[in-house]
Each structure stands twice: as structure tokens, then as C-alpha cells.
Amino acid sequence: MDSILGKKINSTAIPSLLCDFYKTSHRIQYPEGSQFLYSTFTPRSNIYAPFVTRVVSFGFQAFILKYLIHYFNDNFFSRSQHDVVSEYTQFISDTLNIEDSGEHIAQLHQLGYLPIRIKAIPEGKSVAVKVPLMTIENTHSSFFWLTNYLETLINVSLWQPITSASIAFAYRKALAEFSEQTCDDNSHLPFQAHDFSMRGMSSLESAESSGAGHLTSFLGTDTIPAISFVTAYYGSQHLIGNIYSGHQNIR
């Protein structure tokens, strides 16, 4: 226990393994001669939220900057080839009891960047359910396997901010409709669905991205990290407001 407590632990610091386990063998299952793969990121259904009829594009720029550029640069490309290949091959050996040379990992490290092209619906725009929000393809024929290898990281990073942005959009639309019927003006709308969700989220990262998604339709939030997220990855400033307020245990 002492050795663990005294060690800096980052369980996700292996970029080459940020995927579902079964994807580690897919590169050898593709048809011989495969060179390029083209995939889409598509919201397939609103069965659990039928009131959401439009899906808001959001989170792609932040995801690309945070993970595909900075995270991979810091934890993969800036490290020695020996280290990044060894941690991959050791993991495969420990979990599958087979030998893997990790040559594809070495080749990617030698290339020095992720050879992929991503296209997306402009962020903040909405599309109908079942319309692709994003496409991804490899730009180097030797790395066709990388396109779908990144699928898991894409999904875990983007589904929540997109879902939260889409729900917020539906809320904003409903509130606007009732405001037209009952109010003299709509100046209150940007703050009417105030976000106080941080304490109920699964993690700080969830609070950041989900809260930022909510801010695509509203300006009021108590989730401070969401404001920092929007500022850091989108350069937005002075767009979000709040007030000092009390608490029931303060007398």
C-alpha cells in the first residue's frame, strides 16, 4: 500500500490503449490490402428522450484540442518510442498472454502525429436525428486501423456534451414558446434554465463538458468549470453570468 500511495498514478496515460479491448486486434482482421477507412459519428435514436427532435453539434473542437493534440503529444509522441511501445506490448502480454511486437505503435510514434481528418457540423448548429455530426478518416494508408480505433475515445468524450446541448436546446425552445404566451419580453430566457448539475455528475470532466453543452442555449450556470472549459477551448469570454447568493445553512 505504501508503494502505491507514494506513486503518482494516471491510469489513463496510455493513449495507445484508450479503446475497447476488442479493438486491439482489429487491425489484423481487416481485409488484406486495406488502406483507408471512412467512418461517421451519428446520433441514431431519441427513443429515451423523444422531446429531443434536433441534435446539437458540440464538443468537437474541445475534444480535438484536449485529446487528439495535447493529450497524445504529452503522453505519447513526446515520450520515448521504447516506453510507449513497451507499455503497450506489456499490457497485451499481461492480459492476453500473447506476444505482440507493437510495430504499429512504433510506426505511429515515428510518424509524430495522428494521421486523421475530421469533419463536423459547425458547433452550435443542430441536425435531425440520424444525420451524421462528424466524419473521420485516415490520411496515411499505413494507419487505416486508427480510424475506428479512436471510436471509443470519441464516444466517451462527445456523447454527453452533445446530449446535454441537445436537451438544453429543447428546453430553450419550450421555454420560448411559453414565454411568448405569458411574458412581455424574453430577456429572462438565457437564465431561465440555470445549471446546477455539477454535484450530480460522475466526475469533474463530466461536469465540465456537460455544463458547457448546456451553455450552448443558456447563459446562467453554477458549474464554474463549464465556464472555464468554454473559455479555454472556445475563447469565449463575458458571455456567462451569475450572482452572489445564499444557502439555507447560512443564518
Beta strands in the chain (DSSP E): 38-41, 54-56, 116-120, 126-128, 134-138
- Residue 13: the pLDDT is 75
- Residue 246: the pLDDT is 53
Query: What values do phi and psi take at 117, rounded to 5?
Result: -120, 125
Are the C-beta atoms of 87 and 102 separated by less than 8 Å? no
Bridge partners, 126 (sequence order):
56
Q: pLDDT tens digits for 100-149?
A: 899 999 999 999 999 999 999 999 999 999 999 999 999 999 999 999 99
H/E stretch holding 146 reads helix 146-149
Encoded amino acid at 71, one letter: Y
Q: 0.85 exceeded by the pTM? A: yes
- Residue 125: the pLDDT is 98
What's the alpha-carbon Rg for the chain, to the nearest Å? 22
Q: pLDDT tens digits for 196-212?
A: 999 999 999 999 999 99
CA 70 to chain centre: 14
Give every residue of the chain whose pLDDT is below 50, as ranges.
none
Q: How far apart are CA 212 and CA 208, in angstroms?
A: 6
